[in-house]
Structure 1
Amino acid sequence: MISNIYTDKQIAVLNATIKKDWFITLLHGAKRSGKTKINNDLFLFELRRVRKIADKEGIKEPMYILAGVSSSTIQKNILQELYNMYAIEPKFDKHNNFILFGVKVVQAYTGNIGGVGAIRGMTAHGAYINEASLARQEVFAEIVSRCSGTGARIVGDTNPDNPEHWLKKEYIDNPSDKIQSFHFELDDNTFLSDDYRENIKASTPSGMFWDRDIRGLWVSADGVVYQDFDASKHYIQSKYLPSLSTFYCGVDWGYEHWGSIVVIGETDDGTAYLIEEHAKQFEEIDYWVDIAKGIQQRYGLRVPFWCDSARPEHVVRFQRERINAMNADKARLSGVESVAKLFKTDKLFICRDKVTKFPNEIYQYVWDKKKGEPIKEYDDVLDALRYAIYNQHKPKAKLKSFRGGL
């Protein structure tokens, strides 16, 4: 039975794509709600349909666009899943393209304007655009314009973003006979166990993250960033610290604005404690080297320092001083969410007697409604905290190595 393979929402998408004539179908909504799974299958269906059209028109090698933010996201979200589900393992040419079901699939990367180079001038018989809201608008428009082959159709999926986002305003909010969209919530994915869904809900931060990740809504961020921080729960005194087994640091360089180094200690079960805060204005790099060396003396020479990459000369100086310094991934929303999740699940605590600037920042660190990101104020210690937490626990991809440089 089809209900053993697809959820009710996925079946509704299938019915709409099979029974209707359309040009663009967009699936949008919560993470883990089943959008990419059904679109991956639609991608395969579309390739077979394109091959049939090409046979009727005598086209030896029709072309189709497979688009994503980068080669790694295409592999992770699409190609690896197709391999896991159907043992489909493409054979790539020197341009990272491949032939599947007799259709030449040309990859395009939507994260920057240079990503359209591979598709300029081509006539495509369709496109699959993964993570569409992360695409540059001009790249998305170029992909649409390239889909001029007979019967060309475009499928795409995306998580929600700011309600003023061009994808929502120009496409999702403007359905027509040729443009359709489907909204997904976490609970639409009934193949996830009830326990799993409840665990996801319990660990999702309040506010914007909840509305987007659980309900799949395009909402603006509003108010304080770390809404789940509770001083009555998340402040402790250092004399009550449990036994800590792992230590790591975050570094936010500064001079006129405050520089900051924070030290995080973790228990074996992954509960994190901010155990040292060092924040100063108008200090040169020698000062921060001394602070870092003191931290090494207390917690070990190999303690990692996740550093703001905006001052590469400072990172190099740390490394020259045999400090284990690394450039931090500064992804703001992902980093903020990683910290917010720990507050939500009571897995991050602050030693109140060891911090002076954190208490002034935590309630003044607020969202920029227009940009959907935190305002760059009251964030010196909080940036250092974000660099430490996010990078120490950033998932490491464990993907099959396809040939072709992906």
Structure 2
Amino acid sequence: MQPVALQGKAARAARIPDWARIVAYDGAVRSGKTTGELLMWASYCLHGPDGLLLIGGRTERTIANNLILPLQEIFGPERIVYTRATGRVNIFGRDCLVVGFNDESSREKIQGLTLAGALLDEGAVVPESAFQMLISRLSVPGARLFLTCNPEGPEHWLLKKYLQRARLWVDKHGVEHEKPAGDDVLNLFRVTFLLDDNTWLVKNNPEYIAELKKQYTGLWYRRMIESEWVAAEGAIYPMWSPARHVIAWEDLPPLQRVLGVGMDYGTTNATVALALGLTTEEQPRLVLIDEWRYDSRETDVRLTDVELSERLRAWLAGLRHPDGSVLEPEHIFLDPSAASFSEQLWKDGVRTWPADNDVTEGLADVASLLALDRLIVTDRCKGFIKEAPAYSWDPKATEKGLDKPLKVADHSMDGARYVVRSTKHLWQRAIGLR
């Protein structure tokens, strides 16, 4: 095992005060905060108080990708042994539960436990009730919580109820702010990171940092690059421009593959499907090729699932490139809540998959693609072209610390987000994004 030397702000973050019961690292993506947290956690597993430990995050999959696999890369799989079947990981001989906190009911997974320590990834997207339950379970003397998060809105519960009450805060500029112990002060040590705090990347891969900064725009740039807890306001896709992003269907470039179709399902609202392709250009791009839409409000005729399935299948069978070649989508991603329609499609021979419905991440993906001109839309996607300019954040949700789009004229927006997010593992490297 090679020793890992911490430098700069990461080294300061490693000097944890003895009184700290919560250690919180927040700020920019790829800024080194997770690596620092993992090294602190490894030390805690070796030298922390005896008792049961826990590693948590949004889902078991994100925990494995963001925490367990990096731990194995740093220390070796023989020291970090993950057993998915039992939901446990052994770290230097210490047994740790692996728990996904994906909804409000997830707090029940840890109810009644007595914990000696916890490591929490993506703390800002964990339900508040689960977070509070986790804090209450850390009852072994000397127990400590380590957490990381990216910034959210300024009214977010994690910021208001915890991070802003830190006894010691090292801000993004490296300035220390210390408060005297008191009723409104928590024994919380907080360090806020900037992207440039990742000294290894700054030294060895400055091109990557420059590219990463280009991938974020607007709200996401301020949060993920500048480490600011700012509100989601105004247009979601302010970079959208028909002149820049829309092409005639006749000008559709040659395609490597049709990655999939994203579907938003409505009973009284519109049902929409959009096909996403990957071009063969020297710099490949994603393209929304075609759109199928049925809105009962426009026809005063509400179709059954059987009838919707019939019309969708006819559209799928007719998908063509302007050169006449048949286009066959590799996957059909459906609104996860559309259970009855999914069942009907399966009966009719159309295999569907629940779409990745991570709204914030999906919106960020689409925004980055539009900002970098890596996503174009043909003029057949009329619903998308109509909805994009007015697609906005919900101000009432923002007041509550939540990032949610207004649920008005958003069906094509949802369908596009579903297929973009759900196929990211297929297109990310192909179009040169990290």
Deviates more, 1:113-122 or 1:74-83: 113-122
CA separation of 1:237 and 1:108: change in aligned 2, threshold 3 A: closer
Contact 2:274 2:381 survives alignment (8 Å) = no
Task: Give the counterpart letter for 2:54 in structure 1.
Answer: I
- Corresponding position of 1:316: 343
Q: 1:238 aligns with which of 240, 249, 252?
A: 249
Q: Distance in 1 between matches of 2:84 and 2:361?
A: 34
- Corresponding position of 1:171: 162
CA separation of 1:73 and 1:262: change in aligned 2, threshold 3 A: closer
Which residues of 2 match residues 248-287 of structure 1 at below 5 A? 248-269=260-281, 270-282=284-296, 283-284=302-303, 285=305, 286-287=307-308
Q: Secondary structure at the match of 2:255?
A: coil
CA separation of 1:240 and 1:300: change in aligned 2, threshold 3 A: closer
- Corresponding position of 1:21: 19
- Corresponding position of 2:131: 140
After TM superposition, give the deviation of residue 214 of structure 1 in Å: 0.9
After TM superposition, give the deviation of residue 336 of structure 1 in Å: 1.5
Task: Give the counterpart letter for 1:65 in structure 2.
Answer: L
Contact 2:394 2:405 survives alignment (8 Å) = yes
Q: Secondary structure at the match of 2:357?
A: coil
- Corresponding position of 2:405: 374
Contact 1:65 1:106 survives alignment (8 Å) = yes
CA separation of 1:121 and 1:3: change in aligned 2, threshold 3 A: closer
CA separation of 1:385 and 1:112: change in aligned 2, threshold 3 A: closer
- Corresponding position of 1:226: 237
Task: Give the counterpart letter for 2:242 in structure 1.
Answer: A
CA separation of 1:9 and 1:322: change in aligned 2, threshold 3 A: same
Residue by residue over 1:274-333, the C-alpha shift from the partner in whole angstroms, topping out at 9 and shown as x without a partner, is 232222322524255234334324334555322223322222322333334332222211
After TM superposition, give the deviation of residue 135 of structure 1 in Å: 2.2
Q: Does 1:128 align with 2:119?
A: yes
Contact 2:309 2:344 survives alignment (8 Å) = no
CA separation of 1:301 and 1:150: change in aligned 2, threshold 3 A: closer
Task: Give the counterpart letter for 2:356 in structure 1.
Answer: D
CA separation of 1:114 and 1:294: change in aligned 2, threshold 3 A: closer
CA separation of 1:21 and 1:302: change in aligned 2, threshold 3 A: closer
Q: Secondary structure at the match of 1:330?
A: coil
Contact 2:264 2:412 survives alignment (8 Å) = yes
Residue by residue over 1:108-167, the C-alpha shift from the partner in whole angstroms, topping out at 9 and shown as x without a partner, is 443345544564444433222222112222322222222232322222111112221111
CA separation of 1:134 and 1:301: change in aligned 2, threshold 3 A: closer
Contact 1:302 1:324 survives alignment (8 Å) = no
Q: Distance in 1 between matches of 2:84 and 2:39?
A: 23
Deviates more, 1:328-337 or 1:122-131: 122-131
Which residues of 2 match residues 6-405 of structure 1 at below 5 A? 6-15=6-15, 17=16, 20-50=18-48, 62-87=51-76, 88-90=79-81, 96-97=87-88, 100-101=91-92, 103-117=94-108, 119-176=110-167, 177=181, 178-192=187-201, 193-204=205-216, 206-247=217-258, 248-269=260-281, 270-282=284-296, 283-284=302-303, 285=305, 286-297=307-318, 298=320, 299-300=326-327, 303-352=330-379, 354-369=380-395, 370=398, 371-394=402-425
Q: What is the CA RMSD across the aligned residues, in angstroms?
A: 2.7
Q: Distance in 2 between matches of 1:350 and 1:184?
A: 36
Residue by residue over 1:21-65, the C-alpha shift from the partner in whole angstroms, topping out at 9 and shown as x without a partner, is 3221110111111111111110111222225xxxxxxxxx53333
Q: Distance in 2 between matches of 1:355 and 1:71?
A: 36
Q: Distance in 2 between matches of 1:257 and 1:94?
A: 41
Task: Give the counterpart letter for 1:253 in structure 2.
Answer: Y
Flag structure 1 segments of 5+ consecutive residues without an equivalent: 52-60, 397-406
Contact 1:123 1:149 survives alignment (8 Å) = yes
Contact 1:108 1:116 survives alignment (8 Å) = no
After TM superposition, give the deviation of residue 208 of structure 1 in Å: 1.3
Give the structure-1-normalised TM-score. Answer: 0.85
Task: Give the counterpart letter for 1:22 in structure 2.
Answer: A
Give the structure-2-normalised TM-score. Answer: 0.80
Percent of paired sites with the same residue: 23
Task: Give the counterpart letter for 2:361 in structure 1.
Answer: S
CA separation of 1:263 and 1:71: change in aligned 2, threshold 3 A: closer
